[in-house]
A and B are shown apart, each in its own frame.
Chain A
Amino acid sequence: MAAAGPLLDSFWQSLLTLVFFYAFMGLTWNLMMSAGLLSLGHGLFLGLGAYATAVFTATGGLSPWISILIGAAISAVAGSAIAWIGGRFSVRGVQFALLTIAFAELARVLFDNWDFVGSTGGFFLKAINPDTNRPLLTLRGGTLFFYLAFVLITAGAYFLIRALMASRWGYRWRGINEDEDAARALGVPALRSKVLVVAISAGLAGVGGGLFGFLQGSLFPDSIMGLRISIEVLIAPIIGGVGSLFGPIVGAFFVVPLMEGSNVLGQRMGFYGLNTMIYGAVILGVIAFLPDGIWPRIVRFVAARRS
């Protein structure tokens, strides 16, 4: 599918860019879930990465490559702090999920009022001349560039997370998810494990955010770190299959076309709100009838066919 990219026209490239953006974000979100940590504020990590990358590049004049690393580091630090606070003060379960919302909204409101980054008015990247632009230097390019970039980071994140899950840390995260107290009784350092998994997840999300900010060209606190994007980011992996490595990617291939398709349909019919209703209804259908998500169901179906 990815190899067919160059052959597709720019509409499909843009759509698939979005698909891979959500696949990537879903992978990072799902990584935290491996340790049982439900993040309802992933927009925070996305947004911090996006803002830091954009500001260090545009205002600070740094290379976008370095800026994106700084953005990832800032997100990772924020993630570590939240994980540490949650773990240290034993904020677990629903409370932890709500803690992530609280921090994300706190940051969102602060960015709304922070003039240095444009507050609610937004932060804008200067347009660049496409003729003299060298995308590998500026990390900004045409639809094809962003499409390939998101395919690459998605593949990178997939293999990285697969390796992590097969390591000692991966086992520990799953152990904590299953039964934190039992895991600790066996010597699993719960706090360190959680801080690590959130730091990696947040750092990766920061990379995705940095690139997404370049794709958008403009950043608004509400749209890039608000509750809405935090929710959008986790629907794909849940629909695709929480706990399966490939689920978030499959979920993004389902959710993004659904989102875009219902938008187009709503606009064509001139029926405001129709898109949201269709989107909500389809998600309800999937979560009600495919409790484990789409990908595990496909796996089981194929396995049953073979035997």
Chain B
Amino acid sequence: MTALYLNVISGGILIGVVYALIALGLTIIFGVMRVVNFAHGEMVVIGMYIGYGLWSAFKLPPWMLAPVAAALLFALGYALQLGIVNAFIDRPQHAQFVLFISFALMITGLHLALFGPDSWPIQMVESMQSYTIGPVRLDVLRSQAALMALLLIIGLMLFLRFSTLGRSIRAAADNLIGAQVIGIRVRKVYAVTAGIGMACAGAAGALIAPIFDTQPFLATDFTLIAFIIVIVGGLGSLTGALLGGVLIGLSEALAALMISPALKTTFSYALLVLVLLLRPNGLFGEPER
């Protein structure tokens, strides 16, 4: 019984780390530009198809493909930002919303056209394997995905803390006007930020491709999970996204075990509503003055 719980808890935490990577992408975009990427889940699914494609072409384990997916999605995010989204930064929320919905529709349409509505499972030997550490059994694929996600998260944090560009991104997030005054080229910072945000989603997609069977309509689920996490953690807060991701991964796993798998999302939404009521700006967001 305890072993079962331990396995479920560790599985939840492992997937939670990947969720955290997805949420980090969403929150960094919001933090810098005050824009909510409603097509975030679609970016994850692009990453999943990239993971699937490279796996079937080269038979490499998907966790190695995450950087490739990240690079491609970075390019997409960068281009979208410079080409279109920058023009929407000062537009009202609902206009931004429709903009991202149009992206989401086009991406899902493209996925349907290219791959059809059926799911594309990755079948590999590792799917069935697990590491045994004491009483706990860790799923191999989940462990690899979580480890790679963690490496990417750490890399991103180091980049934000120590590189010049990373610092200007944080400056832009902290104080837009100040950043403009000290001469950071805001539009370019935005483009890099969007690239990073979507790279997070793409990398996470490649990582979970062998865990969830790739399918166009998964996008909405990922968008919603990312929303829940960033609101629970605090929109714009990096720490919040990380801890929120693990929290939601964990609560989903436990709710599935203890209540019912069908109701696991209910549990996350209930958690979300509770957090919104008690701390509207999230657990790690800036508190109200």
Contact = CB atoms under 8 A, between A and B. Distances in A.
CB atoms of A and B under 8 A apart anywhere in the complex? yes
Interface of A: 33, 38, 40, 85, 89-95, 97-99, 101-103, 105-106, 109-110, 112-113, 227-228, 231, 234-235, 238-239, 242, 271-281, 283-284, 287-288, 291
B87 interface: yes
Contacts of A231: 101
B272 to A, nearest CB: 5
Interface in B90-110: 91-95, 97-99, 101-106, 108-110
Given A85-B277, A227-B220, 8 more contacts: A103-B269, A113-B260, A235-B98, A242-B94, A274-B113, A276-B109, A276-B112, A288-B87
A102 B280 contact: no
B125 interface: no
B227 interface: yes
A111 to B, nearest CB: 11
17 contacts: A38-B94, A38-B97, A40-B97, A89-B278, A94-B93, A98-B36, A102-B272, A105-B224, A109-B263, A109-B266, A227-B224, A238-B94, A272-B117, A280-B105, A280-B109, A283-B105, A284-B103
Interface in B48-104: 84, 87, 91-95, 97-99, 101-104
B111 interface: yes
Contact of A291 (B95, B105, B224): B95
The 3 lowest CB-CB distance pairs between A and B, nearest first, are A273-B112, A280-B105, A276-B109
State which size class the interface on B falls in: 35 or more
Interface string B108-131: 111111101100000000000000
Contacts of B104: 280
B276 A99 contact: yes
B231 A287 contact: no
Contacts of B112: 272-273, 276
B93 A38 contact: yes
B181 interface: no
A208 B7 CA distance: 47
Nearest to B93: A38
A280 to B, nearest CB: 3
A118 to B, nearest CB: 15
Interface of A is mostly: helix
Nearest to A90: B280
B101 A235 contact: yes
Given A102-B269, A112-B262, A235-B98, A91 B113 contact: no
Interface in B218-242: 220, 224, 227-228, 231, 235
Which of the listed residues A33, A93, A98 has the most CB atoms from chain B within 10 Å of its own CB?
A98
Interface of B is mostly: helix
A211 to B, nearest CB: 26
Nearest to A235: B98
Nearest to B116: A272
A277 B280 contact: no
B276 A279 contact: no
Contacts of A99: 273, 276
Which of the listed residues A95, A102, A106 has the most CB atoms from chain B within 10 Å of its own CB?
A102
Contacts of A112: 262
A102 B106 contact: no
B270 interface: yes
A93 B265 contact: no
A168 B109 CA distance: 45
Contacts of B102: 280-281, 283-284, 287
A266 to B, nearest CB: 9
Nearest to B99: A287
A136 B84 CA distance: 50
Contact of A287 (B98, B111, B260, B266): B98
B111 A273 contact: yes
A4 to B, nearest CB: 31
Contacts of A89: 276-278, 280
Nearest to A92: B280
B93 A93 contact: yes
Given A95-B231, A95-B280, A101-B227, A238 B95 contact: yes
A222 B168 CA distance: 43
Contact of A273 (B97, B113, B228, B235): B113
A231 B98 CA distance: 9
Interface string B249-263: 000000000001011
Contacts of A38: 93-94, 97
Contact of A276 (B108, B220, B228): B108
B276 A106 contact: no
Contact of A277 (B30, B106, B278): B106
A102 B273 contact: yes
Contacts of B272: 102
